[in-house]
Amino acid sequence: MTDGASAAGDELDATLALRDLLSEVTARFAAAAIDGAEREARWIVEEASGHEGPEFALSLDRPATEREVVRIDAMTARRVAGEPLQYVLGRWAFRHLDLAVDSRVLIPRPETEVTAEVAIDAARRVAEPIVVDLGTGSGAIGLSVAWECRHAHVWATDRSSEALEVARANLAGLGRAGARVRLAAGDWFGALPDDLVGRVDVAVSNPPYVRLDDPLPPAVERWEPAAALRSGADGLDDIRSIIAAAPRWMSSGGAIVLEADPRQMSAIGDLLVRAGFVDPQVRPDLAGRERVVTAQWGLLPPAQRGPHPR
């Protein structure tokens, strides 16, 4: 417990049952104006107790162990200090995976589950696709592709060596599917070995795309890695770099899948078409906002290529 919290007399009592701890944590979160205080408190007590769902409900009346109290206390203090719940728990669900996450990587977002789905659909159209996840962070997209697409060979890259350490830990938990994943450090496509030139069937990325002057929620600004978020005055610097380099790496008919801000869709469609991609399409996220752009490489001769989406 922090000095401040002890002084306030709200240190958790080691003789309490899990149910009592749950009430105390809920009250502390409510006092700290944390949205969904009860739900978050439950996540934390579940995580510390190692029980979930019905098992957790059955364990609520047993006395908490000293270790559980210490863990709940530490996690509660971090959350009350404003750290995102996902980092406090140290893991977060993404599609079928339970990913380790900490402040070295962006917290995987629900909208990125759609990005991964679009990439998985594209990969399933190819017998043994080569898929590259550029800027993999925790590995959310690339590892999901490997997990859900049994014949995919995945390269997951990042410029941040710290992010790659997290991706490596998550890769270790992937079991046999992990044998089809390689991690590589470097700047976008530059991380890939030359023998992939012209052979990439799906290039997927959720790159930084926040404009320099766009405000971010304070918790995002404070806790999540800045290098994962902002990308120049219009938020498109990294997307421009990726699209400019992509033609050299794509296989004929290969798909590019880019997550971005809904306001950037049209500009990205233009960039893709100018680079020689065809048939740009926009997909909405789970909240119905335009979020993912896809296009194909080299399917149509230039004369038949459409202008851009919308």
Ligand X SMILES: C[S@@+](CC[C@H](N)C(=O)[O-])C[C@H]1O[C@@H](n2cnc3c(N)ncnc32)[C@H](O)[C@@H]1O
Is 211 in contact with 233 (CB distance < 8 Å)? Answer: yes
- Judged by the rule CB under 6 A, the positions of this chain that interact with ligand X are 105-106, 108, 112, 134-138, 140-141, 158-160, 163, 187-188, 206-208, 227-228, 238
SS3 state at 227: helix
**Distances 303 to 290, 298, 307 between C-alpha atoms, Å:** 28, 12, 11
| CA 291, chain centre distance (Å) | 14
Amino acid at 153: H
Please report, in angstroms and rounded to a whole number, the separation of the first and last CA atoms in the chain.
Answer: 55
CB 60, min distance to ligand X, A: 34
SS3 state at 89: helix
CB 158, min distance to ligand X, A: 5
**Residue number with CB closer to ligand X (63 or 247):** 247
CB 177, min distance to ligand X, A: 18
How many CB atoms sit inside 10 A of residue 310's CB?
9
CB 210, min distance to ligand X, A: 9
**Residue number with CB closer to ligand X (37 or 166):** 166
**Residue number with CB closer to ligand X (76 or 136):** 136
CB 13, min distance to ligand X, A: 38
**Residue number with CB closer to ligand X (22 or 192):** 192
SS3 state at 253: strand
Amino acid at 249: W
**Residue number with CB closer to ligand X (58 or 197):** 197
**Residue number with CB closer to ligand X (21 or 191):** 191
Amino acid at 92: W
CB 238, min distance to ligand X, A: 6
Is 294 in contact with 255 (CB distance < 8 Å)? Answer: yes
Tell me which residue has tokens 């202008």: 307
How many CB atoms sit inside 10 A of residue 271's CB?
22
CB 223, min distance to ligand X, A: 14
**Residue number with CB closer to ligand X (76 or 205):** 205
